[in-house]
Each structure stands twice: as C-alpha cells, then as structure tokens.
Structure 1
Amino acid sequence: MIVCVCHRVSDKTIAACAQQGEGFDEIQFEHGVATQCGQCEHAARRIWSECHPSQRLLHLHQELAPAASHWTAP
C-alpha cells in the first residue's frame, strides 16, 4: 500500500528500512516520506515504530517495568 502519495513510498519500503535499523529521519531523507504535504507522517511513523527493532524493545521494556516493580523478594 502506498503511504506517501507525494513520493510514492509504500508501507513495505518503510517497514524494510525500519527493520534494517534506519531511523525515521533517515527514511525521510532517503525516500522523502512526510516531507512534502505531511499527510502521511502519522501513518509512516506508526509503521516505522512497529517495525524498528529498538522501538519494539522499548515497548517491551515499558510493558515489563510496571510488573517488575511489584515483585517482592521471598
């Protein structure tokens, strides 16, 4: 599916770049995502955050942190 109509960038392109560890700024510079009309920025950032390895670890850490804080030693 085309996410950025202005530059014809697909969700697959954004996901592949994110999975390779590229930051969103790098994707913007390389492919022009969210640099013209801006209508795609929210969707593009969502796809990037779902696919970028460090973001997935950050979300996992945030989910586990509250549970770990309630743990008490025996």
Structure 2
Amino acid sequence: MYVCLCHAVTDSQIKNAVIQGDSSLADVKKRLGVGDQCGKCVKMACHIIQREINAQPNYYEVA
C-alpha cells in the first residue's frame, strides 16, 4: 500500500527501513523522503514505524 504519494513510498519500504535500523520518522524521512512534502503521510508512517518496532524482538531485555 502506498503511504507517501509524493515520493511513491510503500508500507513495505518503511518496514524494511525499520528492519535496517531506522527507529524514528526522522530516520525514515532521511532514507525515503517520507513526510517532507505535503505531510499527509506522517501519521500513517509513524504508526507503521512504531508497529514494526514493537514487532521486533528485543534481545537485550532480561526476562
């Protein structure tokens, strides 16, 4: 699904950016250009970033 129409960025591209180490909108914006034109995609992009971060296991947490 396209999230940012200005730069033709999809949700899969945002997820892959998070997997590669981006952890904030600023990081994803630098890599993909999300949110630097009209800004309508920012809310959805933040939601996708946060959901992907929460889905990744945190190996540094001690049980």
Q: Normalising to structure 2: TM-score of the pair? A: 0.77
State whether structure 2 residue 21 is matched by structure 1 residue 18.
no
**How many angstroms apart in 2 are the aligned matches of 1:32 and 1:21?**
16
Moved over 3 A (4+): none
Give the aligned CA root-mean-square deviation in angstroms.
1.4
State whether structure 2 residue 30 is matched by structure 1 residue 29.
yes
Shift of 1:18: 1.1
Amino acid at match of 2:8: R
Unpaired segments ≥5 residues, structure 2: 56-63
| Richer in helix (by share) | 1
**How many angstroms apart in 2 are the aligned matches of 1:20 and 1:29?**
13
Q: Identity, % of aligned pairs? A: 33
Matched residues, number? 54
Q: Secondary structure at the match of 2:37?
A: coil
Alignment-derived partner of residue 50 in structure 1: 51
Amino acid at match of 1:2: Y
Q: Normalising to structure 1: TM-score of the pair? A: 0.66
State whether structure 2 residue 42 is matched by structure 1 residue 41.
yes
Unpaired segments ≥5 residues, structure 1: 58-74
Give 1 or 2 for the bigger CA radius of gyration: 1
Shift of 1:19: 2.1
Alignment-derived partner of residue 9 in structure 1: 9
